[in-house]
Amino acid sequence: MTKQLSGKIALITGGTTGIGLATAKELVVQGARVFITGRRQKELDAAIAEVGANATGIRADASVPADLDAVYAKIAKNAGRLDILHANAGGGDMLPLGSITEEHFDRIFATNVRGVLFTVQKALPLLVNGASIVLTGSTVSIKGTANFSVYSASKAAVRNFARSWSLDLQGRGIRVNVVSPGPIRTPGLGDLVPDEHRQGLFDALAAQVPLGRLGEPEEVGKVVAFLASDASSFINGAELFVDGGMAQI
């Protein structure tokens, strides 16, 4: 049976843990060759060992334009084109209004907004006509969340990028969509609170999900694979929530 992403070349930024790693594994299972990035070499090496022969790791910080140039130079040399771009690198921490610092704002927007913008813009020469771009958003972009306004605003910006870029890319057949997870059991979610409060956070979040549980990274990876594939060929500029219903009710 032909796999749905056979022969496709994909880049997943922030592909060393959590949602990005699960997506890399799913895309490879579906037949793609993947490049993954992350800032930490040890995690990158471990991820490459886990994903297998069809994965290449490139250490790069998505908020540093020169790193992105190096990523695309390597992909150009090794693969010559890109069919799938998952701009996923991101994260954030919590501060209430009143305590927000310039450093907090700049750091979160540097990766989640500026990083996503230049990850996509610098990919354009390599992206084939008909390519699929998937941005990682979040349910928080359409909800209010205490202490999380800067991160939430950064994801609201990502949501609009997909709307506007779908128009900018008219004529190339390139689709731009957002996958917006609810609470997903990843290192990034757990790191929002000290170790001793992790289970409490997970339980509190699960209680807000109609399905009564956290999501698993693989459940997001499968949706990214769908958005990357021809099975979603008429889905463009959309936001697909993978949240157990959390932001839908």
Ligand X SMILES: NC(=O)c1ccc[n+]([C@@H]2O[C@H](COP(=O)([O-])OP(=O)(O)OC[C@H]3O[C@@H](n4cnc5c(N)ncnc54)[C@H](OP(=O)(O)O)[C@@H]3O)[C@@H](O)[C@H]2O)c1
Q: How far apart are CA 108 and CA 112, in angstroms?
A: 6
Stretch that binds ligand X, among 3-11, 60-68, 73-81, 164-172 (CB under 6 A): 60-68
Would you call 72 a catalytic residue per the annotation?
A: no
How many other CB atoms are there within 10 angstroms of residue 50's CB atom? 12
Asked if residue 65 binds ligand X (CB under 6 A), the reply is no
Q: Which of 37, 132, 152, 229 binds ligand X (CB under 6 A)?
A: 37
CA distance to 94, 163, 171, 212, 213, per residue, from 134 (Å): 25, 12, 18, 27, 25
Q: How far apart are CA 227 and CA 7, in angstroms?
A: 16
**Number of chain positions touching ligand X (CB under 6 A):** 31
Q: Which is nearer to ligand X, 36 or 126 (CB)?
A: 36
Asked if residue 39 binds ligand X (CB under 6 A), the reply is yes
**13 secondary structure, DSSP code:** T
Are 42 and 78 within 8 A, CB to CB? no
Out of 35, 72, 148, 151, the active site residue is 151
The DSSP bridge partners found for residue 74 are: none
Stretch that binds ligand X, among 3-11, 34-42, 70-78, 96-104 (CB under 6 A): 34-42
Q: How far is the CB of 123 from ligand X (least distance, A)?
A: 14
Residues binding ligand X (CB under 6 A): 13-20, 37-40, 43, 61-63, 88-91, 111, 115, 136, 138, 181, 183-184, 186-189
What positions carry a catalytic annotation?
A: 151
